[in-house]
């Protein structure tokens, strides 16, 4: 794809001119935007770029490994992983309110990222922050650019005043499909390039009720089955997003194996959408829904019921919290 080769080369050249031999950091979220932005900057300035991945323990099955191993293997990026699961779970203990969960996760994320940035800065001053801002984000936020303390955007927002960075935003002119094409061009793993949008607060807002490690493990297992079967059915690219939600505070009676169970339901929430502003529930084939339901109830301990969310947005949102 010649266009993408040109975009990649021009962008790498522009980053080199902007950064020279100074240092940059980039926060990886596991999503395609930050991954492609980091890969471009790595090509431009090599080990003058340090990436930080805050593992908050709220990712889906296999996602952290894809960042820590496959992404690093395909890009050669210098990656620091911060294992912050314990810290996030402690901060979330006892919390059930959706907005409170979001606030806590956002706050802890900034604190952990900031600490990592400071530590990296002690090895030599860091002057730039890489962000995976896309063209639609630019339009939405009024088109401003600059050297500010990072606009409040997704996960990385509002770093304190004494951490000043210039911004490197190599994807500012691109749409999502172009970013994916660029990611393929740069040789990133398909799992990252084609990943569905995933909320910053992760599975923390897909557990209705308190977030605990056991519940996360349970949801990770159910979610992995749904994703696996969707892929097997060849329908990955027909579905915008496929949240699986654990109703952790609800129990219902079931019968499994030799007897009565009293377990939790999970909700399947496949949606089709153009931009997440509106969405419709996906009409997945019954055979696929059946396979997902059978496998989840057979393989995931404590889940004895699978229900399908058939609400469009509006009135429902895509996520349950």
What residues form the annotated binding site for ATP? Answer: 29-35
15 vs 268 by CB, closer to ligand XMP: 268
* Least distance in angstroms from the C-beta of 276 to ligand XMP: 4
Q: Residue 301 half-sphere exposure, CB side, CA atoms within 13 Å? A: 4
23 vs 220 by CB, closer to ligand XMP: 220
63 vs 127 by CB, closer to ligand XMP: 63
* Least distance in angstroms from the C-beta of 199 to ligand XMP: 3
Query: To which H or E segment does residue 53 belong?
Result: strand 49-55
132 vs 263 by CB, closer to ligand XMP: 132
Q: How far apart are CA 186 and CA 172, in angstroms?
A: 17
Contact 222, 266 (CB under 8 A): yes
44 vs 58 by CB, closer to ligand XMP: 58
CA dihedral angle for residue 215, residue 99, residue 115, residue 43, rounded to 10 degrees: 80
* Least distance in angstroms from the C-beta of 137 to ligand XMP: 11
* Sheet containing 78-83, strands listed edge to edge, beginning at the edge strand earlier in sequence: 78-83, 49-55, 23-28, 126-130, 166-168
* Least distance in angstroms from the C-beta of 315 to ligand XMP: 11
Q: How far apart are CA 18 and CA 177, in angstroms?
A: 26
Q: How far apart are CA 192 and CA 132, in angstroms?
A: 14
* Least distance in angstroms from the C-beta of 279 to ligand XMP: 7
Question: In the chain, what is the greatest distance between 2 CA atoms, to the nearest angstrom?
Answer: 69
* Least distance in angstroms from the C-beta of 46 to ligand XMP: 29
201 vs 265 by CB, closer to ligand XMP: 201
Residues that bind ligand XMP (CB under 6 A): 102, 154, 197, 199-201, 241, 276, 313, 317-319
Instruction: Catalogue the long-range contacts made by 306-309 (C-beta closer than 8 Å, 24 or more residues apart).
Output: 306/265, 306/266, 306/267, 306/268, 307/265, 307/266, 307/267, 307/268, 308/267, 308/268, 308/281, 309/245, 309/267, 309/268, 309/269, 309/281
Q: How far apart are CA 62 and CA 68, in angstroms?
A: 10
């Amino acid at each position: 794809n010649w266009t993408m080769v040109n975009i990649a080369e021009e962008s790498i050249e522009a980053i080199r001119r902007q950064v020279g031999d100074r240092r940059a950091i980039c926060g990886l979220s596991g999503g395609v935007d930050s991954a492609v932005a980091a890969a471009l900057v790595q090509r431009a300035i090599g080990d003058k770029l340090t990436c930080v991945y805050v593992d908050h323990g709220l990712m889906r099955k296999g996602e952290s490994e894809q960042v820590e191993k496959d992404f690093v293997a395909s890009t050669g990026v210098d990656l620091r992983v911060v294992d912050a699961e314990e810290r996030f779970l402690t901060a979330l203990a006892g919390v059930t309110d959706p907005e409170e969960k979001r606030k806590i996760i956002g706050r802890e994320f900034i604190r952990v990222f900031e600490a990592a940035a400071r530590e990296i800065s002690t090895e030599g001053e860091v002057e730039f922050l890489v962000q995976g801002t896309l063209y639609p984000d630019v339009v939405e936020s009024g088109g401003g650019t600059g050297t500010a303390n990072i606009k409040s955007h997704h996960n990385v927002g509002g770093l304190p005043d004494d951490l000043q960075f210039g911004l490197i935003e190599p994807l500012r002119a691109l749409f999502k499909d172009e970013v994916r094409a660029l990611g393929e061009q740069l040789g990133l793993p398909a799992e990252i390039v084609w990943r569905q949008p995933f909320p910053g607060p992760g599975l923390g807002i897909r557990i209705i009720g308190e977030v605990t490690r056991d519940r996360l493990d349970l949801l990770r297992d159910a979610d992995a089955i749904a994703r696996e079967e969707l892929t097997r059915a060849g329908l990955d690219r027909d579905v915008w997003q496929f949240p699986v939600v654990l109703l952790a505070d609800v129990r219902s009676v079931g019968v499994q194996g030799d007897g009565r169970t009293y377990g939790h339901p999970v909700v399947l929430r496949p949606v089709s959408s153009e931009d997440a502003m509106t969405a419709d529930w996906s009409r997945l084939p019954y055979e696929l829904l059946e396979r997902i339901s059978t496998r989840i109830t057979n393989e995931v301990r404590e889940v004895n019921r699978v229900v399908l969310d058939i609400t469009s947005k509006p009135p429902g949102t895509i996520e349950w919290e």
